[in-house]
Amino acid sequence: MATMTFREALNQALDEEMARDPKVFLMGEEVGQYQGAYKVSQGLLDKYGGDRVVDTPITELSFAGVGVGAAMVGLRPVIEMMTFNFAILALDQIYNNAAKMRLMSGGQYKVPITFRGPNGPAHMLSAQHSQATESWFANVPGLKVVSPATPNDGKGLLKAAIRDDDPVIFLEAELMYNMKGEVSDEADYVLPLGKAHVAREGKDVTVITFSKGYHHAMGAAEALAKDGVEVEVIDLRTIRPLDMETIARSVRKTHRVVTVEEGWPYGGIGAELAYCISHDLFDQLDAPVTRVTGLDVPMPYAENLEHLVLPAPRDVIAAINAVRYRS
């Protein structure tokens, strides 16, 4: 296992897939000459040339549309959004063409396209650049939504996303690019989409999370372990499709559930999880499903207010204590 940053693992995945399949190409703002706003595409322009690492104007709707068309005729585009806040400008292409084309063509067209880039709260970038967009995309039939929590998962899931024949929304937590972790050194390391990972075994409470929320959950679990509380942490990895089999197996063991995400509470991923668990596993629950989310407000700019809005391990600990009926 090699140790590398999240950005290096993503760069390695892109490099390996572009070397493996000449139909894979990268397109987006500053992905070429500047080597990516977050340096995820570093070195790829020199290696693969301007036909496969394509700098675009600041026109998200247009280059998303070019990507959809390229996918329809057999290429495998990877479209980088400088931030998924800017993907709002491309939603017509993502929602109405990428997601629907396979169905509306009666299966005549596949759309093997990956939209990837930073997502979620950053640091002091204020309301228009700090939005967690996963629930927006997960609501759309035809899209797969992936949000890795570690460098290892980032590499394995991005390779799977690029190979998938359906459109994949690949969300990278903006504050995780410098995070280091071990990454598999297998020759062709690919993780399956749609399969959650039990990151920590436990018997008292199940915590379900993804992306940066995973690190809050693990921090809470480690703190509570000192008091003898065994928390099971499930990293969803893929938000849609949802791995209810792994979730159900854990709920039948612990009978208590907390969900953790950085997005807004109304219509969030935790709300969907709470419904699915309550509907399918109601008799297994010893307490209501409890959600930990960001506050239901636009993100403030001031650093002290930003800390108040975002969830932290202390909030996960409080939620775990609540479902255990502890103060």
Active site residues: 60, 129
Contact 80, 31 (CB under 8 A): yes
Pull the structure tokens for residue 319: 């939620």
- Neighbouring residues of 71: CB distance < 8 A, sequence distance ≥ 6: 77, 98, 110, 111, 112, 113, 167
Burial 97-136 (b: 16+ CB within 10 A, else e): bbbbbbeeeeeebbbbbbbbbbbbbbeebeeebbbbbbbb
The number of angstroms, rounded, from the C-alpha of 146 to the middle of its chain's C-alpha atoms is 4
In the numeric block, the tokens 């067209």 are attached to 109
| Backbone φ and ψ of 48, nearest 5° | -115, -10
46 sits in the region (left: phi over 0; alpha: psi -120 to 50; else beta) called alpha
Alpha carbons 77 and 37: distance in angstroms, whole number? 18
User: Tell me, what amino acid is at 174?
Assistant: E
